[in-house]
Chain A
Amino acid sequence: MTVTKEPELLPAPKAEDLAAVLLETVQPTRPSALSASMTFGWRAVLKIKHVPEQLFDVTAFPIMMILMFTYLFGGALAGSPGEYIQYLVPGITVTSVVMITMYTGVAVNTDIEKGVFDRFRTLPIWRPAPMVGYILGDLLRYVLASLTIMIVGLILGFRPEGGFVGVVLGVAVLVAFSFAFSWIWTMFGLLMRSEKSVMGVSMLVLFPLTFLSNVYVDPATMPGWLQAFVNVNPISTLVAAVRSLMAGGFDGNAMLWTLGYGLVFTAVFGALTMRLYNRK
């Protein structure tokens, strides 16, 4: 914590001014659920504005991921990095964005300890608004991470057949899914006692989900029991949906599964989050 010495001549509050401001009689109407959530989203954006270093993880991390996997596995898995990257980019975009969703949980956890949360909870607003606000602010980070990967991917030779529209649609599906997926982290953010334990649990969930999937290799090369898991893994269905959109196609089955998972995550973890939030 930084402590700045109070300036010697800091003006004292003025009694006459106080009397004037207390005369506020404008009784505003309760903000709508959307308006309250957007205001909390604005708060998240302000925080990024004040501490821009926190964007490091949404830019540097994805760049590292794509460079590492393209050149490490490219030759072995697809003959050359140039061919592998066509397969890898949609998947690595999903992995990077899903990985950074966990910071939502960290943000919730660090905030909940502070007094400001008490104030939010005593406001007559739509109860889930602060939680939705976190996730809305994070959507900006997801878009930024996706954009970073696409630019690096294009430089490295990724040529999506779906063109600009296909890529935008793919990213849109990914961001929408991440919104639903983030409710897991708001729940853990409220449940766990420290920031470190939130990170620990996140890794425990995210590593198997992103690696035991179709992100890096074709599931057909895996043993049957592993395929069984990989094929129902929500990350796999999401990657399949995004991959087909970026390739100019439409995988109806994968899209339906992704939508289904999204709804289930929102309903189950959203409800659990709110239960914990109301009890905290």
Chain B
Amino acid sequence: MNAIETSGLVKVFGDTRAVDGVDLTVPAGTVYGLLGPNGAGKTTTVRMLATLLRPDDGEARVFGHDVRADPNAVRRLVSLTGQYASVDEDLTGTENLVLLGRLLGHTRAHARDRAAQLLEAFGLTDAAAKQVKHYSGGMRRRLDIAASILNTPKLLFLDEPTTGLDPRSRNQVWDIVRAVVAHGTTVLLTTQYLDEADQLASRIAVIDHGKVIAEGTKGELKASVGVGAVHLRLRDADQRSRAQQVLTRALECDVLLDSDPVALTARLTGRATEQAAEALAQLAREGITVDTFSLGQPSLDEVFLALTDKSGKSDTSDKKEAAA
């Protein structure tokens, strides 16, 4: 069964179509990434799925329950970690978790045990009796996620869970998310960090201007932009134009000159590894010295820029995107 199915989901705020016909299918037990820039409609989509906003049009089902017709059935299965920590800043860590435990229907004693257990597992025992307003960003996030898994939801919404966190805290949040998924919870992750979607999500929908502009596995998305890219740095800038000719012939594709006077980039289309090896050999035969050489799949950044660029051009033709 699919965890989420939406078709033609629409939400309008005034003149803005914040979400404009979104179709999503999220298989149960996976991490699904919703990737997009600020204001793309990610949070609005999540809020509709979490029963916080009523869709204006279209359909959305969470494990088969319609979010409009049966919001309470949906609420029993989901939990939300919002963009801004969804915990009460005036209360302590323990009080926050006990409060939620009670609201979920646990006895006072069990709610207290569970709170202590979660705080211990999330490394927050020392801060348990402190008010959350004195927590650091990373600690808040952890408490927030602890609150979300108090009852081990079937579907967890993580709305930009690592925005504003330092790299170490971010890695810790990622570890937590992986543990949650390993336990069988489905995660819908929104993020504007491609790196994060790359790390965690198995399928990704790229969303921009309220529409899904691309959807697929990470590999599929990357392949849609090309097989891979070769980056070269030469020792001598004078040899660059000759290197460009050699590479263009050998790789049968466009070779771009980077702003760095010794660097070149080629976007491959065919059998990446073989072609690249051959090109290197030819450069050596021509007496061109290569300092560094790298071959890789296009990064999600490249995918993202390529895709959002396309969708941006379709509705604002006069907009000129500077090539990076």
Contact = CB atoms under 8 A, between A and B. Distances in A.
B95 A21 contact: no
B80 A10 contact: no
B75 A123 contact: yes
B179 A118 contact: no
B242 interface: no
A19 B134 contact: no
Contact of A24 (B50, B88, B114, B179): B114
Interface residues on A, range: 35 or more
B172 to A, nearest CB: 5
Contacts of B106: 26, 28
A19 B117 CA distance: 12
Given A22-B152, A119-B86, A119-B147, A4 B91 contact: no
Interface stretch (A41-49, A137-145, A207-215): A41-49
A47 B83 contact: no
Contacts of A7: 126
Contacts, number: 141
A12 to B, nearest CB: 5
Contact of B52 (A13, A39, A40, A118): A118
A119 B82 contact: yes
A114 B142 contact: no
B80 A15 contact: no
Given A2-B133, A3-B136, A18-B179, A115 B85 contact: yes
Contacts of B235: none
B103 A31 contact: yes
A31 B104 CA distance: 7
B79 interface: yes
Contacts of B100: 119, 123
A110 to B, nearest CB: 10
Contacts of A40: 103
B121 A21 contact: yes
A121 B50 CA distance: 9
B89 interface: yes
B136 A6 contact: yes
B17 interface: no
B51 A5 contact: no
Nearest to A17: B121
Given A28-B106, A42-B99, A118-B52, A4 B90 contact: no
Contacts of B78: 122
B91 A50 contact: yes
30 contacts: A6-B136, A7-B126, A10-B123, A11-B123, A13-B176, A14-B121, A15-B179, A18-B121, A18-B122, A21-B118, A22-B149, A24-B114, A25-B152, A26-B110, A28-B110, A31-B102, A31-B105, A35-B105, A39-B99, A43-B91, A115-B86, A118-B86, A119-B86, A121-B52, A122-B50, A122-B51, A122-B75, A122-B79, A123-B104, A279-B54
- What 6 pairs between A and B have smallest CB-CB spacing? A28-B105, A17-B121, A11-B123, A6-B136, A115-B86, A119-B86
Interface of B: 47, 50-52, 54, 72, 75-76, 78-80, 82-91, 95, 99-100, 102-106, 110, 114, 117-118, 120-123, 126, 131, 133-136, 138-139, 142, 147, 149-152, 172, 175-176, 179-180, 182-183
Interface of A: 1-7, 10-15, 17-31, 35-36, 39-40, 42-43, 46-47, 50-51, 114-116, 118-125, 129, 279
